[in-house]
Structure 1
Amino acid sequence: MTEEDLQTLAGLTTKSSRKKYLKYLAVKEGHKQARKEKQQKKKADKEASMKQRKELENSEEEEGDQDGHRLKNTMFLQFWDRTLDKLLGWRTAQAMRFGQPIVFDLSYASNMSRREIENTVSQLMEVEGWNRRATEPFHLHFCNLQPDSLYKKELVKRYGAETWDRLLITSTEQHYIDMFPREQLVYLTADSPNVLRSFDHSKVYIIGALVDKSIQSGLSLANAKRLKLATARLPLDEYLHWEMGAKNLTLDQMIRIMLTIKDSGKWEEALQFVPKRKHDGFYQRQTQTEVSNDRPRIVKKHQENRIK
């Protein structure tokens, strides 16, 4: 109680008025105490949040140091992001002019449910991202992309109209057989009887933009046969111990495999992107150390294939 409050209280003449004034002072003091506690709690929460953020930033910096990546929250971060974006953009722009084309066939909308098309678009976005970050990217072609198709609507929705228009890819409603010489086209499909034993830099490889939960076997192969195109499948059986199950891979796995085989020419490196849950390892790795009756087991000869 302040001196001013005491003077006010002394000036009251009746018992009831002094009682009301004391009650008023008590309520006022309660509000003051509540505000003080609230401010202290807010300050403690802020300090705890800052401490947690600092610990997180320190851990991220340590991880960045270990991985050889850029440090977080440094004066070079914004500069690095801008420079990296320009570099990646330059590589992709160069690929559009001089790079090897690779086609994603977007003609399967009628064969998929809406959910499957949405999953396909998610994978196509992964494809664009992995290709953009590659050292030597492909020139991506999204062919048979009809303006009113669910493919197009979902792509524009996910990217945003402005970003979609700026993407360094060729998206067109044209058919790939009208864009490239037929003899250059090779349709990659898991159902093909032909094995892609070597990567040909003069070919235009086609991948069906299809997520097929119901496993409509032979759909892309039938499409390629109807167009009288050459077909090939990845050498999964030749390199991987594949027990059972469909050999369909996701679109993002396919682009990573194709980027690696194009750059390195080694299937052992490229097929590292096949999920390990689908196979029991490489044939060469399993057989090269196994010995029976002092004689090494036979390793398949086609394991020695390399790109020249």
Structure 2
Amino acid sequence: MYRNLIPVGRHYIAVPKSLERIYSQVLRLTRYENQHHVIYRLAHKKVNKSKDHNSRLFDQLKTLEVQYTSKFGKGQNPPLKKPNYTETKNNKYLHENNIFNVIRPERHGEGDTFEDRLFHDEKEPPEEEDEEGKISLVLSRSVTPELEEKILNGIPNQKCILKEALLEIEKLEKRNFKFILPKSMTVDEWRTLISLQDMRSRTTYVHSLVMGTPSLDEIQQQDKIYQNPLQLDPELLEDVQDEEGQRKIKIFLMEHEMLRQDGEMVPYLVTEKDIFAIADLKTSTARTKLMMTMLGREIRMFFNTMRNRQTEVQNPKLMIKKREQSEISYDESSDKTIVLNYNPQTINLAYDWSAVREFHDWGIPLVIDMSYTSNCELDHRLRQNSLLSEILNSISINKEAKTPFQLQITNIQPDLTPKLSDELSKNADVAPYNLTSESHLDMYPHDRLVYLSPDSRNNLVKFNPDDIYVIGGIVDKQERGKVRVPLTLPAAKKLNIRHARFPTRQVFGVQSAFNIDTCVGILNDIKETSDWFYSLRWLPQRILLRRLHNDPNPENELLVRAHRRLSPADSDIELKFRLLNPTNYRYYFKRIMECKTKEEMENLLSEIKI
């Protein structure tokens, strides 16, 4: 038999001989193990299917039913199925007994299909397309050579501005959100458009021709601001007392004006936080990057304002409803809840003391081990900022939990101590954590420690309050051409310490490394609820999108939709979604998957109340 199969690595490629000869030799194997071994490799491995006769052979082998002919028993074996070698007996037991209690899409009736529930799940409606399936460009294609001559009126210098305006209109027509624009404009309207110098002013003017707001005088007044140097609010500058900080602000204003005179778009919306950031910058490159960040934020706010303006004109009842929901009613006859308006600093201080209270005998420690920072190439500034951001988010998530952990940040490296201390001192009057250079191996007994590692093969089935879980303080930015090196698992094996991973494969069918703050959120939820499906709501959306990319089917799309709408990992999600208990979370997760229209889903989400 094996003379007719050529081994290539771990695969077998059939020799181009008679189909009947190879097929009959497979069937003549007397032992079931050999039959299964050969057929499995032929039917499921990546082998050469370039020739037609090989393809027909594989199609026959996939449907082949193997007979038990050995001493182990006789009878009919079910059709060949690719085995799952990673699934252990323990995992089978968990699936059979539904320990994870996973919510999956279900069909209701014969006519119900998953495809019927799919719709465009974006906040903006899809673009209108013409008969050929291309996005319709009306206004940007309405300028003919004859109309262009009338618009320019013998002034050829205006042609460049006209071409730039047409390009801006074309980009506006191609945006995901469909802004309502006029199908054509008069010669005077085109001349008014090219008289405006800034893109934001021109875009607002074209949109106002349909919306009726803002007025032309307001647009021209704003355009004059864009044509002049940036003027900072004197009240914001009062907080910068040192001369060095004021000197850096003046340098920033000079570079801002140089870019504006070179024809570059520059930001004009500067906040108090931006002033402090400008005063700390040391290089021209850093100031340019901050300027681009400010510009991107201003552009997003600009288009959000246009979107809200259009929604208010098209559907005024919806905007009135949103305003009513945002306002607090003090009417005794109203069924709305009266909420006291606490200062954010007061609420933050209460969270801090809630976490400090756990630093007692009854508190459960949670360790973030920072000893791996020397292996993560933290010499790059972006990696350091990413690590600091994850630490700050972890502290915030932990202290806002119902019962926080004793957050122990151990093994702080000397090069990271001043930066981390400075960042933490800005965000907390009371330290809801313990920052130490001491090792957790000296602080706690080894038999209580459990290393959390994505490379472990042991699933963390149940949270044990007697165990002390250790999260690796790792910034794992996988680069192209580099293989991710496991760090926490070798450390646990070297010290003979237990290790485990989150059972994401059993719940969502994916396995990946998580950020530090994601692990802290999952552990807080599993400690309170013992519900893995609910606790893994902190799963980043990118991981589920990766699964959807590898297996694009309607069921996965429904899971991604429901998870995205209710996941607290999204910073823009409403507070009422974060406060859902496991029962309500499962209920609305299932209901979102069953929605067949966007309006039905939005009405469902509006029903959620704290």
TM-score tier after normalising by the smaller chain length: 0.5 to 0.7
Task: Indicate which of 254, 271, 275 corresponds to 2:536.
Answer: 271
* Residue 149 of structure 1: aligned partner: 415
More relative contact order, 1 or 2 (CA 8 Å, 6+ apart): 1
What amino acid is the match of 2:437? E
Distance 1:176 1:208 in 2: 12
* Residue 512 of structure 2: aligned partner: 247
Deviation by residue 1:243-273 (Cα, 9 ceiling, x = unmatched): xxx6011111111111100011000101111
Q: What SS class does the counterpart of residue 393 from structure 2 fall into?
A: helix
How does 1:108-187 map onto structure 2 within 5 Å?
108-113=372-377, 114=380, 115-146=382-413, 148-150=414-416, 152-160=417-425, 166-187=430-451
Structure 1 residues 197 and 207, CA gap change in structure 2 (3 angstroms):
same
Distance 2:395 2:338 in 1: 24
Structure 1 residues 82 and 110, CA gap change in structure 2 (3 angstroms):
closer
Q: Is the 8 A contact 1:118 1:154 kept in 2?
A: no
* Residue 92 of structure 1: aligned partner: 355
Structure 1 residues 155 and 60, CA gap change in structure 2 (3 angstroms):
farther
Task: Indicate which of 89, 105, 128 corresponds to 2:369.
Answer: 105
Q: What SS class does the counterpart of residue 108 from structure 1 fall into?
A: helix
Distance 2:471 2:389 in 1: 15
Matched, 1:219 2:487: yes
Distance 1:252 1:61 in 2: 34
Structure 1 residues 164 and 228, CA gap change in structure 2 (3 angstroms):
farther
Q: Is the 8 A contact 2:356 2:431 kept in 1?
A: no
Q: Is the 8 A contact 2:451 2:499 kept in 1?
A: yes
Q: How far apart are residue 112 of structure 1 and its match?
A: 1.7
Q: Is the 8 A contact 2:369 2:410 kept in 1?
A: yes
Structure 1 residues 62 and 235, CA gap change in structure 2 (3 angstroms):
same
Q: How far apart are residue 80 of structure 1 and its match?
A: 5.0
Structure 1 residues 226 and 61, CA gap change in structure 2 (3 angstroms):
farther
Q: Is the 8 A contact 1:186 1:204 kept in 2?
A: yes
Deviation by residue 1:197-250 (Cα, 9 ceiling, x = unmatched): 1111110000001011135332111122222211000001111122xxx60111
Deviation by residue 1:275-305 (Cα, 9 ceiling, x = unmatched): 2332359xxxx69xxxxxxxxxxxxxxxxxx
What amino acid is the match of 1:142? I
Distance 2:353 2:430 in 1: 13
Q: Unaligned stretches of 5+ in structure 1?
A: 1-40, 46-51, 288-308
Q: How far apart are residue 89 of structure 1 and its match?
A: 2.8
Structure 1 residues 220 and 81, CA gap change in structure 2 (3 angstroms):
same
Q: Is the 8 A contact 2:450 2:498 kept in 1?
A: yes
Structure 1 residues 163 and 87, CA gap change in structure 2 (3 angstroms):
closer
Structure 1 residues 238 and 165, CA gap change in structure 2 (3 angstroms):
same
Q: What SS class does the counterpart of residue 438 from structure 2 fall into?
A: coil
Q: What SS class does the counterpart of residue 117 from structure 1 fall into?
A: helix
Task: Indicate which of 480, 497, 500 corresponds to 1:232.
Answer: 500
Q: Is the 8 A contact 2:522 2:535 kept in 1?
A: yes
* Residue 20 of structure 1: aligned partner: none
Distance 1:182 1:125 in 2: 27
Based on CA coordinates, which of the two structures has the bigger radius of gyration? 1
Distance 1:94 1:248 in 2: 31
What amino acid is the match of 2:405? F
Tell me the C-alpha RMSD between the 2 structures.
Answer: 3.2
Q: Is the 8 A contact 2:458 2:500 kept in 1?
A: yes
Q: How far apart are residue 168 of structure 1 and its match?
A: 2.0
Q: Is the 8 A contact 1:156 1:164 kept in 2?
A: no
Q: What SS class does the counterpart of residue 140 from structure 1 fall into?
A: strand
Task: Indicate which of 422, 429, 453 corresponds to 1:189.
Answer: 453
Distance 2:466 2:408 in 1: 16
Structure 1 residues 181 and 140, CA gap change in structure 2 (3 angstroms):
same
Structure 1 residues 64 and 266, CA gap change in structure 2 (3 angstroms):
farther
Q: Is the 8 A contact 1:190 1:234 kept in 2?
A: yes
Distance 1:69 1:123 in 2: 35
What amino acid is the match of 1:91? S
Q: What SS class does the counterpart of residue 95 from structure 1 fall into?
A: coil
Query: How much identity, in percent, do the aligned residues show?
Result: 26
* Residue 25 of structure 1: aligned partner: none
* Residue 146 of structure 2: aligned partner: none
Q: What SS class does the counterpart of residue 408 from structure 2 fall into?
A: strand
In terms of mean alpha carbon deviation, does 106-115 or 124-133 score higher? 106-115
